């Protein structure tokens, strides 16, 4: 007969992001068949008893648990891959999965150095026998295509030089494009795409400041609800805002699976950004479980993942 404490421990082992491996092993290796039967009867979150008194897995719970068990494996695989291959595979998967995943392409294109992005493009050639740009043009039919192609093709200047007059002028160009026209056509605005895809990050951050000073609101605020454009501006100009938003969405109680997967991706592939922006591990550690938790926290604390 399973004690209430065992049933509570079993439920808790699956109640966060990841799996509490140690508790699960302890409970199951010390259980006989009668004990396991009472565990099944007591754990209504995982099992359903049918009209014949048969305790069976709840199908939706099985699906959730498969994702939870995969998290540690996925984190390990991502961390072992060469950074260029890792980025190339993430981009290819995002292209296949469609518009809800295009933020992954933006995230990589806007946070990598020019040489790192060039490396990902080289890896893409080797892995998929096409260029990233070719696959974007082939598979994306919406307005996002023009911006995404421009972002992944960028080779930005990375020096300190910024022309403040040009940055201020281009802040005005973006303001007028957003506020004096049809927002639905913003992704077709040639000057807006040129500015976001070709200017250095230092230049864009200066532009962002001029925008705020001139119009008493940030460029990101003016792009609220604009999805991929807001993601682009935040990744380029205020990456701490973008990554905080992604990580906080991942650990919400009602987070969907896409949001939860982002936790692994961001922590493993954006370690430098998280350290640079002062990301604090205790923001996530209470919701993570088991080996997955250990790996994620060690990834943030160590300098091994680049």
pLDDT in tens, 105-128: 999 999 999 999 999 999 999 999
Percentage, residues of the chain above pLDDT 70: 93
Whether 21 and 149 share a structural domain: no
Question: 55 forms bridges with which residues in the sheet?
Answer: 49
Mean pLDDT of 49-61: 76
26, part of any domain:
yes
Whether 50 and 93 share a structural domain: no
Whether 11 and 95 share a structural domain: no
64, part of any domain:
no
pLDDT of residue 306: 38
Mean pLDDT of 139-158: 95
Residue, of 281 and 295, whose pLDDT is higher: 295
17, part of any domain:
yes
284, part of any domain:
yes
62, part of any domain:
no
Whether 48 and 172 share a structural domain: no
**How buried is 206 (Cβ within 10 angstroms: 0-12 exposed, 13-18 middle, 19+ buried)?**
buried
Query: Which of 149-163, 181-195, 204-218 shows the lowest per-residue confidence on average (mean pLDDT)?
Result: 181-195
Q: pTM score, two decimals?
A: 0.88
Quote the CA–CA distance of 114 and 98 in Å, as a whole number. 25
The region that residue 81 occupies, defined by phi over 0 for left and psi between -120 and 50 for alpha, beta otherwise, is beta
Whether 37 and 73 share a structural domain: no
Whether 76 and 35 share a structural domain: no
Whether 107 and 198 share a structural domain: yes
56, pLDDT greater than 60: yes
Residue, of 206 and 37, whose pLDDT is higher: 206
202, part of any domain:
yes
Is the Cβ–Cβ distance between 16 and 45 less than 8 Å?
Answer: no
Quote the CA–CA distance of 245 and 249 in Å, as a whole number. 6
201, pLDDT greater than 90: yes
Number of domains in the chain: 2
Reported as a pLDDT band with limits 50, 70 and 90, residue 55 is confident
Residues making up the binding site for Ca(2+):
14, 16, 18
Nearest to 175 by CA among 113, 220, 142, 125: 220
Whether 78 and 28 share a structural domain: no
Whether 230 and 287 share a structural domain: yes
Residues making up the binding site:
14, 16, 18
The strand pair at 47-49 and 55-57 is best described as antiparallel
Whether 41 and 12 share a structural domain: yes
From 16, 33, 57, the end of a domain falls on 57
Whether 10 and 99 share a structural domain: no
**How buried is 71 (Cβ within 10 angstroms: 0-12 exposed, 13-18 middle, 19+ buried)?**
buried
Quote the CA–CA distance of 85 and 153 in Å, as a whole number. 17
Considering only the C-alpha atoms of the chain, give the largest distance between any 2 of them, rounded to a whole number of Å: 77
Which domain covers residue 51, as residue numbers? 4-57
pLDDT of residue 231: 96
81, part of any domain:
yes
Whether 142 and 282 share a structural domain: yes
Q: Tell me the average pLDDT of the chain.
A: 88
């Amino acid at each position: 007969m399973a004690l209430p404490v065992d049933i509570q421990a079993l439920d808790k082992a699956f109640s966060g992001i990841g799996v509490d491996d140690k508790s699960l092993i302890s409970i199951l290796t010390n259980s006989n068949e009668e004990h396991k039967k009472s565990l099944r009867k007591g754990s209504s979150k995982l099992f359903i008893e049918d009209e014949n008194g048969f305790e069976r897995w709840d199908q939706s719970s099985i699906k959730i648990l498969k994702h939870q068990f995969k998290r540690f494996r996925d984190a390990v695989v991502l961390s072992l891959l060469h950074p260029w291959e890792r980025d190339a595979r993430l981009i290819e998967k995002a292209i296949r999965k469609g518009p809800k995943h295009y933020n992954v392409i933006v995230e990589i294109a806007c946070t990598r150095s020019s040489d790192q992005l060039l490396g990902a493009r080289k890896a893409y050639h080797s892995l998929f026998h096409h260029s990233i740009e070719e696959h974007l043009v082939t598979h994306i039919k919406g307005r996002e295509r023009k911006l995404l192609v421009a972002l992944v093709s960028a080779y930005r200047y990375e020096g300190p030089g910024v022309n403040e007059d040009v940055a201020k002028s281009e802040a005005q160009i973006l303001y007028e494009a957003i506020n004096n026209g049809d927002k639905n056509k913003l992704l077709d605005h040639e000057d807006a795409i040129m500015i976001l895809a070709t200017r250095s990050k230092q230049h864009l951050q200066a532009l962002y400041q001029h925008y705020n000073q001139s119009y008493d609101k940030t460029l990101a605020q003016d792009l609220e609800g604009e999805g991929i454009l807001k993601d682009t501006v935040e990744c380029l100009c205020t990456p701490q805002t973008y990554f905080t938003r992604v990580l906080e969405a991942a650990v919400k109680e009602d987070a969907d699976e896409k949001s939860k997967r982002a936790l692994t991706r961001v922590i493993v592939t954006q370690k430098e950004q998280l350290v640079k922006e002062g990301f604090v591990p205790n923001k996530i550690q209470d919701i993570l479980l088991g080996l997955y938790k250990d790996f994620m926290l060690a990834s943030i604390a160590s300098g091994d993942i680049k």
